[in-house]
A and B are shown apart, each in its own frame.
Chain A
């Protein structure tokens, strides 16, 4: 009795690839290399929530160093110039971009929240009552980065047949 999720791992991987191509690796020289390791560590993460025809979260998590590197690439600055504010902004926008694209693939009537950024590791405890349904796990220049999709349990019945 839950809405079928129409976003699979390949879709997620493709979106991630497009984010890399657009902002993080426009030259195409350092892609995110898949590790398929769901349990790889993270030090910071950002998320957006989706509610409505599907309810859950999209989470971007990485090491601090990978986040710094993402911010530097995004903002065209050196890694040591990146402030904590830059880091949060960029992490938030990355979750927002992936989340927005996921939302567009869900049945109509889904709403996207503003991004939340937490400069602490992603843990299951932060997304209570939800389970991970797909994810892209990889290393970027040796540092862990993941993008995962969490579906809320129980409270996603609206619109279900």
Chain B
């Protein structure tokens, strides 16, 4: 399985990569939404999961989600927002745009794994 990690902070990408690798995902990286869409266009197989920051230069996470949801080829991708945006209204917006889950920064590794488990992306037993 493959997971795309989309965040303009390299440090945050490293944390997320470390977590998804533990769950046996191969990690792909992008620094913003535009870069992520460009990368997706070159891939034959769509990754199962994307972890998406909100505030990024060029194309933000919400726009990325909207784009992905409009593209039938990317329909199977599970989208998780991972962001400091934590107003209730922002979470509602992201879910309405098509994000499947939402993780607020700061998050612990355990919390991230529990969220991915909710989405059926963690082999049972890996989170305890």
For the residues of B in contact with A, the DSSP-based class is loop
B84 CB contact (under 8 Å) in A21, A86, A90, A100: A100
A104 CB contact (under 8 Å) in B12, B14, B57, B85: B85
Q: How many chain B residues have a CB neighbour from A under 8 Å?
A: 22
Given A22-B106, A26-B109, A100:B85 Cβ within 8 A:
yes
Count A-B contacts at CB 8 Å.
61
Contact between B9 and A92, CB atoms less than 8 A apart: yes
Say if the beta carbon of A23 comes within 8 Å of chain B: yes
Given A22-B107, A112-B55, A96:B9 Cβ within 8 A:
yes
For the residues of A in contact with B, the DSSP-based class is helix
Contact between B105 and A100, CB atoms less than 8 A apart: yes
Which residues of B pack against A, CB within 8 Å? 8-12, 14-15, 18, 55, 57, 83-87, 89-90, 105-109
24 A-B pairs (CB sep. < 8 Å): A23-B15, A26-B108, A26-B109, A74-B14, A75-B11, A75-B14, A75-B15, A76-B14, A89-B10, A92-B9, A92-B11, A93-B12, A96-B55, A97-B84, A97-B106, A100-B83, A100-B85, A101-B105, A104-B84, A104-B87, A108-B87, A108-B89, A112-B55, A114-B55
